[in-house]
Structure 1
Amino acid sequence: MIVRILIAVFASLVAGLSYFTGLARMMTGILLGFGALCSLLIGVLFFLPADDKRLLLPVYDKVPAWPYFLIAAVLVGMMLVLFMTKAGPAEEEKVSALHFKYFLGGIGGYLASMFLSSIYWFPSDALRRSTDEAFLTMEVLFGTCLFLAGITVSCALLYRASKGSSESHPDLMRRFVLGTFTVFHLDKMPLLVAYLLIYSPETKVTFPYIAAIALASYIPVGIFLLKTTRDCRVTE
């Protein structure tokens, strides 16, 4: 467990420092590639026959795999845009307290989306015993849509916060926002939620078909990373 924690801390520091030091294009490409790879692997799991006896990542329910492949394709498309196209000059704004308010609002909204939605994802034992599966499914679907909407709005606020700059440091807020975002692994929340919806041993309720909606929140996250990186003056 300690080794895993150290690896996670090291990975977050490397990602954050990459943005803080100006390696935005490289780091964004890695994060988009990671999301595409995870989406592809989950799609492959559901493309194969369902097998709950499998030792590694068993599949308890057969669901369509194409949504996961589609998400992977969209993220790969973002990578192509990142490395094969050039962005025009970004709109500059003098950094002010308003940009930090946008930043705090984006981070707060991001975390609130996660924790508020978890109320619907993990029903209590009493609720599971007193309601049918259809009602639980609707609750989980509502929580997932709430999560997706919250992530989208939060990413928009964070992008707005990244526009703050100064004459001596034109990428001041861009580096700060991207670095902080990745240091705390906020970019990986969509994958975490999708995993919990597919494998939730604590609740013994799985929703693999709704997990694709949760994983789709990688798209607004990817758009935020892509647009902010393309706005950077120095990306290598």
Structure 2
Amino acid sequence: MALIREKRLPQLHLSVPVPTRAAGQRPNPTFAPAPTPTPNAKRASTPTALSSQFRVADFEKLAVLGRGNGGTVYKVRHRETCALYALKVQHYGNPAAAAEADILSRTASPFVVRCHSVLPAAASGDIAMLLELVDGGSLDSIRSRLQGAFPEAALAEVAAQTLSGLAYLHARRTVHLDIKPANLLASKAGEVKVADFGIAKVLSRAGEQCTSYVGTTAYMSPERFDPEAHGGHYDP
């Protein structure tokens, strides 16, 4: 295991572990199981056993973490255990809601935001996903609070963890399609997790290529955004 030295970023209140990897050495995408829950959150952190017992009413909404066209993400607290989570409520009629819930419910990687449970739909037909709370916020929000640029070593670690998450997803034929700072969450301990699978695609068979052009244009690769200017074709 590579030695870790900790680089403190006081402007972010975020501790970013910077590994002493040799130049060109690839990160080790070891997909360990989720950490063992802490004692005070044990009952609320075992979704397989308790998913049928969870209801939206079991959680107290503390704050709004984000809003979008398809839904709202809340910071919530389980009323019985006081464990904190993020609750993503996808509005009725959003065609991507069921697909995102299906992808996240089958994903288990330390580099992808964890879905504890898909809660029973409310009378309105909304879909609610109980997600782990990543306490540092998105990289986009961290960047907006930062005085100056990210240190290069921190960017290298962000890239290494993000690529490890993408390697995990691609090995399972899942294509995210919208990697950008707003969709990468960072914990105060320096963990980076891929989030927001609203337009992700799951390929039906091995070897199939994704030809979708959806995404955020500012973060698309040049050949995907403008294939005619880069050889006249887009190679997935």
TM interval, short-chain normalised: under 0.3
TM-score by length of 1: 0.24
- Larger relative contact order, structure 1 or 2 (CA cutoff 8 Å, min sep 6): 1
> Higher strand share goes to which structure?
2
TM-score by length of 2: 0.24
> Higher helix share goes to which structure?
1
